[in-house]
Amino acid sequence: MHASNALDPQSPQARAIYDLGIVATIVFVLIFVVVAGGIVYAIFRFRGREGEPEPKQFAGNEKVEIIWTVIPFLIVVFLFALTLRGMNRADPPPAPSPDLVVTGHQFWWQADYPASGVVTANEIHIPAGKPLSVRLDSKDVLHEFWVPELARKMTTVPGQPNNIWIQADKPGVYLGTCSEFCGTQHAWMRIVVVAEEPSKFEAWQQAQLQPAQTATSDPAAKGLALFQTSTCMNCHAIRGVPGANAIVAPDLTHVASRKQIGAGILENTPANMRKWLKNPQHVKPGVLMPDFNFTGQQLDELTAYLDTLR
């Protein structure tokens, strides 16, 4: 995983935006050079010198005025046409039904794949080379979904879904982020896009569709019991665990298969999971998960259980 780079487009959609940006920048630089160059030239070439007579005064020059109206007009028309082409490539109309629905929450992302029924959080898998129509929604406040290498950025508005297209030319891991301030943990609302060969993506989908395996031996079995008897189920779903189907917080059915915890704040290792469970507020102040004051043994059991959710 590397830092995201808006100047390194990895999809036709992102490239359309990048190309437009490059052309526009070249045009702007040329205009700047011509205008600033003309000013600098005039300053030195026509500066007043002692003893020289007053220069000839004149007003109006039809030819010059036509030139400096027509040229900017043509530049604007040129950029307008390029922008239309770029919009058409980067932001075509959405598909009738989305391939992926991403919902912003304070402070994490829910990802639903309507066709297959997969539900996950913060880590989106996509098949490389295929454009996906993504519907963006929000459960609470304005967020903004942005994976700079793969797609344009787009605000998520509660009750007013927006749509973008996302695509990756080749397999790889691409980082995204929430790019609209949404509260204390706005900075830790990362998104990981894993682009895979279509067959690997299919295998991932199949694995995600499996219900969680039931923990039968200790300490994981004790951890499962803890999950069921504490208030975890009020917010988290684990498919296969009776009653655990709330969708307030990330679905944990395959939490151990994900790369990160807390929408990017920790690498997903058992040690970090224990740290997170010990006091989420310490790891990510303002996160909606409370501190449960688990004992050391309870932390070990819960960590062992969550680690079985692969």
Q: Tell which one of 86, 98, 104, 264 touches ligand CUA (CB under 6 A).
A: 104
Of the candidate spans 45-53, 123-131, 182-190, 240-248, the one that interacts with ligand CUA by CB under 6 A turns out to be: 182-190
* Cβ-contact 303, 223 below 8 angstroms: yes
Of the two residues 186 and 222, which places its CB atom closer to ligand CUA in the complex?
A: 186
Q: What's the closest the beta carbon of residue 88 comes to ligand CUA, in angstroms?
A: 29
Q: Kindly state whether residue 143 participates in binding ligand CUA, applying the rule CB under 6 A.
A: yes
Helix, strand or coil, per DSSP, at residue 71: helix
Binding residues for ligand CUA, total number by CB under 6 A: 9
Q: Kindly state whether residue 86 participates in binding ligand CUA, applying the rule CB under 6 A.
A: no
Q: Kindly state whether residue 78 participates in binding ligand CUA, applying the rule CB under 6 A.
A: no
Q: Kindly state whether residue 190 participates in binding ligand CUA, applying the rule CB under 6 A.
A: no
Residues 10 to 49 in contact with ligand CUA, rule: CB under 6 A: none
* Cβ-contact 188, 179 below 8 angstroms: no
Q: Is 183 exposed, middle or buried (0-12, 13-18, 19+ CB in 10 A)?
A: middle
- Nearest Cα residue to 236 out of 161, 178, 288: 288
Q: Kindly state whether residue 264 participates in binding ligand CUA, applying the rule CB under 6 A.
A: no
Q: Kindly state whether residue 119 participates in binding ligand CUA, applying the rule CB under 6 A.
A: no
Residues 158 to 177 in contact with ligand CUA, rule: CB under 6 A: none
107 preceded by a cis bond (ω within 30 of 0): yes
Q: Kindly state whether residue 149 participates in binding ligand CUA, applying the rule CB under 6 A.
A: no
Q: What's the closest the beta carbon of residue 229 comes to ligand CUA, in angstroms?
A: 32
The H or E element that residue 202 is part of is: helix 198-209
Q: Is 77 exposed, middle or buried (0-12, 13-18, 19+ CB in 10 A)?
A: exposed
Q: Kindly state whether residue 182 participates in binding ligand CUA, applying the rule CB under 6 A.
A: yes
| Interacting residues of 221 by C-beta distance below 8 A, sequence separation 6+ | 215, 305
Q: Kindly state whether residue 186 participates in binding ligand CUA, applying the rule CB under 6 A.
A: yes
The amino acid occupying position 142 is: L
Binding site for ligand CUA (CB under 6 A): 104, 107, 143, 178, 180-182, 186, 189
